[in-house]
Amino acid sequence: MSEQNIRFAVVGCGHIGKRHAAMIQQHPEAELVGVIDIDPQQQAYVESTFRVPFFPSLEVFLHDGPAAEVLNICTPNFEHAPQAIQALEADCHVVVEKPMALSKADGEAIIFKALQRSRAVFCVMQNRYSPPSVWLKELVDSGRLGKIYFVEVNCYWNRDGRYYKPGGWKGVAHKDGGTLFTQFSHFIDTMYWLFGDIKTIQGRFYDFNHQQLTEFEDSGVVSFDFVKGGAGTLTYSTAVWDRNLESSLTILAEHGSVKVGGQYMNRVEHCHIRDYKMPTLPEAGPPNVYEGYTGSAANHHYVIQNVVDTLRNRSFASTNALEGLKVIEMIERIYALK
């Protein structure tokens, strides 16, 4: 007798929500049972494209909708924590798009509820799945680089009026959280995943060309030490003209140096390590393309696969709630310097 497919619902039918829904439908062990969005104009799209019921709110879905084992939360940032808690209270596992929450306190409330209900929380940190990231993780964990001396993370993206549209939630401080939450939290996640926690943080923040677009900075320069040893910097900006420039990670270490770059850390640009020949890596996925701007690598199919494997006891969550919480806490500590 074959196991029943794992039933998913998606709340939030924007670009990323549609991608989640499509990836669920493409997975042989997953089934999409409903899509939820407060915009009634999405109903026709959902019913014709995904051929599943549409629900106007999470409350209506949880009360009247079909039973779902997993709820994927793809709504604006400020809704992630309350909706995750609501879903956990209804005994659903949750997949939360980045950022998991906009404060450490809210992140802790999610974890508390998940433990209380014995449910899993998966945080979407898609950078971990890209071939250069997988390779870097193995390289760092194996100790082949020796002592880590210096890590430099540069994120130079374009986010202009095509992204920060009037009347939306993006750019509104209490709904968006800020540039590090919405744009670059997965790069902070990659750094944390590879090198661990940071301390002795210093930062400077600038607003070059977003005064009319957002309620917060568009650029920053942050320096810190790693708790495990070594130092680092994070330099970021969304003030780049017209299109993304790059996101890169450079490591200077005892036995060599490495740089992963490209528009979204999708290619190895430099690798010179003692007694080491770099393997040929699989091709990185394409970027997420939105209306007039691009985002990070489109690795969401790996996320759905990981959820299925974890719930089938074949694997464990590749980004668990505690790691999602650490990223929020690191951003909070950086932003406390403003």
pLDDT tens digits, 52-88: 999 999 999 999 999 999 999 999 999 999 999 999 9
Whole-number pLDDT of residue 126:
79
Q: Which residues contact 64 (CB under 8 A, 6 or more apart)?
A: 55
Q: pTM to 2 decimals?
A: 0.93
Give the pLDDT of residue 1.
Answer: 34
What is the CB neighbour count within 10 angstroms for residue 204? Answer: 12
Task: Please count the other Cβ atoms lying within 10 Å of the Cβ belonging to residue 55.
Answer: 23
End-to-end Cα distance, the chain: 58
Domain boundaries, the chain: 6-123, 127-296
Q: How many CB atoms lie within 10 A of CB 145?
A: 22
**So what's the pLDDT on residue 125?**
87
199-240 pLDDT, tens digit per residue, is 999 999 999 999 999 999 999 999 999 999 999 999 999 999
Phi, psi of 302 (to 5 degrees): -65, -35
Kindly calculate the radius of gyration of the chain based on its CA atoms and give it in whole angstroms: 20
**pLDDT for the residue numbered 132:** 95
Q: Give pLDDT, residue 292.
A: 59
Alpha helices in the chain (DSSP H): 15-26, 42-49, 58-64, 80-89, 104-117, 131-141, 173-176, 179-182, 185-195, 300-311, 321-335
What region, left, alpha or beta, does residue 200 occupy, with left being phi > 0 and alpha being psi -120 to 50 degrees?
left
Pairing of strands 93-96, 121-123: parallel
Length of the chain: 338
Beta carbons of 135 and 107 less than 8 angstroms apart: no
CATH fold of 6-123, please?
Rossmann fold (3.40.50)
3-state DSSP of 138-174: HHHHCCCCCCEEEEEEEEECECCCCCCCCCCCCCCHH
Per-state percent for the chain, helix, strand, coil, to nearest 5: 35, 25, 40
Query: What was the pLDDT predicted at 294?
Result: 56
Please, what is the angle between helix 321-335 and helix 185-195, to 10°? 110
What does the pLDDT read at residue 317?
A: 87
In the numeric block, which tokens belong to residue 312? 């089938």
Query: Which CATH architecture fits 127-296?
Result: 2-Layer Sandwich (3.30)
Position 29 scores a pLDDT of: 97
The confidence score (pLDDT) of residue 266 equals 87
> Which residue ranges in the chain fall short of pLDDT 50?
1, 293
